[in-house]
Structures are given as structure tokens and as C-alpha cells.
Amino acid sequence: MFLNETILSVALPTIMVDFDIPASTAQWLTTGFMLTMAVVIPTTGWVLQRFSTKSVFTVALASFLVGTIVAAAAPVFEVLLLGRIVQAFGTALIMPLLLTVAMTVVPGNRRGSVMGLISIVMSVAPALGPTISGLILNSLSWHWLFWLVVPLVILALGVGSFFIGNIGETAKVPLDPTSVVLATAAFGGLVFALSSIGTDPTMAAVIGPIAVISLAVFVIRQLRLEDPLLDLHPFGIRNYTLSVLLALLVMGTLLGVVMVFPIYLQTAIGLSALGTGLLVMPGGLLQGVLAPFIGRLYDSVGPRPLVVPGAVMLAASVWWMTLLDVDSSIGLIISMYLIFSLSLAFLMTPLMTTALGSLPRSLYGHGSAILNTLQQLAGAAGTAVLITALSVGTQQSLDQGIGIEQATADGAHTAFLIAGVLAVLVLVISPLITKVPRDYREESIEVEAGTN
């Protein structure tokens, strides 16, 4: 499910040709996905309180399956976009559920190990998206990016429905419709505005302020409600707030770089879609191999000895990317991307584990919803800012009569400079992270196996 955030990045040029649409329209396959996620995820804190674990899991996987089939069979762009939106609905439900269940049932001294496995899915999968997409597109049409997923989702739905038990007890928590409307306007509006900066700045300038005002009203209302849609009390815990802030900066950098990198490789260097996928694959595999090890190490030493070196590697690798040019060697590019991927392995698992582990168990659902919602905003912001910087930098060079290859490299240089600033912020904040309180580390509950 998590591959879907980036798997279409390499396929967009092919889809543009098939449907005869411009890049600004094709980009809605990514924007619409993030927009739906941003709207649905804020409600998941309430959903996880109101409905059983198995029910949420089943609805999430079934929705994703339907969306995947619709997208795979799409005869026109509008149907493909609809399929992506339904996919995003299912993904938005499963992400907080995954984190909440893990934090609830796993003892504190093993959470790092389990979160390491989860990070393979949540951060490595998006990193491998371009690789998998390139491999498939080398011999099949873009439709197979979806058809090949269908049997995997059916298998997961069948196995999960049989083995997954319910965690904790449900409660008839009232749903505040006004909060739902405000959350939709705030988070959906912010993602839309950020995603429109490069293609429709006027619309972004109109929607952005409305979204910010809606967000302010939403926050005030949540603080006053007895049963808020999204409980904001986790922000009162320093370690949670710092971990979330760092995770947002890392996510914005990750998704921004992952979107810019294929454009640089294919246009400035001249690689094919397959070549692009193969070049970034070692980095994704490195993250996958290291994630469980980093998780076990976290259980032993805590977050700071991992997060600080990770921040150093992130800053070093991204600033190294600013030196890329049309003549950069493939070996050099692979080396810096490996360091970039290594930094993510050191950052994502410790940050997610520390953020949620710093909360009492009663706030896991809402803390997870906040983290995932803000990660979507960070991803949209990182993508919008870096793609806009790439476009502006490229156009400025083209206006000076520079060829498209060098112009794209110039645009990528501008984008990577901005990513470098984000990475430096991660480096500055990372030493402030502390260990999770022992009383929270020891919390866990039993699973009610076999219940519905």
C-alpha cells in the first residue's frame, strides 16, 4: 500500500502520452492521493476508538483493493484518478492502525525492533517505488503497476481477516461533524494549496489562507471539545513534539528528493525509466536491510545515538547532491544516494518509535493520527517546494539559451539547496531528543485473538 505514494513518479510521462494530458493534470494522480490521505487521516483517531481493529483493517484493505482494480482497468484519466482516491482512503486508514496496534501490544523494550520492521513498509516502500515502477514499465504498460498488486492485496485481506484480533475495547465516542468539515478544509486545503504552487499560484494564494484559518479554528475547537475528533494533548509532551517535528522535516526532504531525483537522472543524465529505478534500488534495499538492525539497536541505546549520526549523514548527502551536474558519474550518484538512504534508516525508526513511545497508551491512536496527518502535509510541502524550485531553476537556464540537460541540472541544484536547508534543521534539532520514559516503555496489552 505504501508504494503508491511514489510508484507513479516514473510512470507519469507514459500516462501523459496515453491520455494526452499535460503534466499539471497528470500530477493530480499524486496530489489527489495525498489530498485524500490528508483529509481522512485526521479522523482515524476517532475511528480507532469507535470501531474494532478487525473492522477497520477489513474496510481499509477492501477499499484499497477496489481502488486498485478501478485504477488498473481505467480507460480514461478521470477513472484512474478515482481509483487513486479510493486507494488513498484505504491507505489512510491502515497507516495509523498499523502504528497504534504495534505500540499497544508490543512491550517497550521490543518496540524499536518492531518499528524497524514497520519502517521497511512505511519508508522503504516509497523509496523503492521508482525502482519497481521502472522495472515493470520496461516490459509492461502502466496498468500493470496496479494489476500486479491485486493478488497481493487479496492475500493480505484473507490472511489478515483470519488472524487479526481486536486490540482493546471500542467506545461510542460522538463524532463532531463541524470538526470533520474544518479538518477537511484545513488539511485538504493545505495539501491542495501546496501542490498547486507550481502549476496554479493564484489558486494556491486563494486556498492557502482559507486552509490556514480553518486550521486555526479546528485547533481551537479541538481544545474545547470534551470528545475531540483529534486530541491535541500529545503536543504537550516535549519529546513527542520534537520527534514529530524532526519526522516532518525528514519526510519533506525524502519525498521532495525522491520526486526530483528521477527527473534529474532521466533528463540531465539521460537514463531510461528502468535505469533510474535500478540506480536508486541499492539505497532502498539498504534501508530495508538495516531497518530491523536499527530497531534492535534503538531498544539498547535509545534515540539520540542513532538520530544524531543519521542527521549528519542526511545533511552531508543532500548537500553533496547540490554538486551534481550533467557530467556526474553514475558511481558518484549511487554513492551519495546510498548515504542518503543510510541516513533515513538511522532516522525514521527512532523518530516514529520515540514520538509514539513518549505518549501514554490512551493517546496512541490520536498521536498516530497527528503524526501521519502532518507527514502528509510535510510530503506535500517538500514535493511542492522542491519541484517548484526545479521548474523555476530549469526555466531560468532555458531562458539564457542553455540546453535542456544542463538546465535541468541547474534546476535540480536549486531544489537540492532547499533540501539541504531542511537537512541542516534536522541536524540542529536532533540532539534535543531524549529517551522514552520508563513507565511508558513498560505499557502493553494483550490481543483479543479471534474476536470480531
Band (452; pLDDT cuts 50, 70, 90): very low
Helix axes 304-321, 330-357, angle to 10 degrees: 150
Give the pLDDT confidence of 226-285 residue by residue, as tens digits.
888 888 989 989 999 999 999 999 999 988 898 888 889 988 998 887 788 788 888 878
User: Which CATH architecture does the domain made up of 2-441 adopt?
Assistant: Up-down Bundle (1.20)
Give the pLDDT confidence of 173-192 residue by residue, as tens digits.
788 899 999 999 998 898 88
The mean predicted confidence, pLDDT, of the chain is 84
Cell numbers at 307, concatenated:
538520530
Q: Report the candidate in 433, 381, 326, 393 with the shortest Cα–Cα distance to residue 204.
A: 381
Residue 159 to residue 87: CA distance in whole angstroms: 19
Radius of gyration of the chain (CA): 21
- Show Cβ contacts of residue 218 under 8 Å, excluding neighbours closer than 6 positions: 179, 182, 183, 186, 230
Band (8; pLDDT cuts 50, 70, 90): confident
- Show Cβ contacts of residue 300 under 8 Å, excluding neighbours closer than 6 positions: none
Between 62 and 167, name the one with better pLDDT: 62
Band (444; pLDDT cuts 50, 70, 90): very low
Cell numbers at 165, concatenated:
484480533
Q: Which residues pair with 447 in a beta bridge?
A: 167
At 122 the pLDDT is 64
Residue 447 has pLDDT above 50, yes or no: no
Count of CB atoms within 10 A of residue 150's CB?
A: 13
Q: Report the candidate in 241, 359, 297, 240 with the shortest Cα–Cα distance to residue 109.
A: 297
Mean pLDDT confidence for 12-24: 81
- Show Cβ contacts of residue 125 under 8 Å, excluding neighbours closer than 6 positions: 2, 3
Q: Report the candidate in 293, 297, 339, 294 with the shortest Cα–Cα distance to residue 314.
A: 339
Give the pLDDT confidence of 312-363 residue by residue, as tens digits.
999 999 999 999 899 989 999 999 999 999 999 899 889 988 988 888 877 8
Whether this model's pTM surpasses 0.75: yes
- 437-to-22, 103, 112, 214, 313 alpha-carbon distances in Å: 52, 14, 14, 35, 27
Residue keyed to cell 524497524:
116
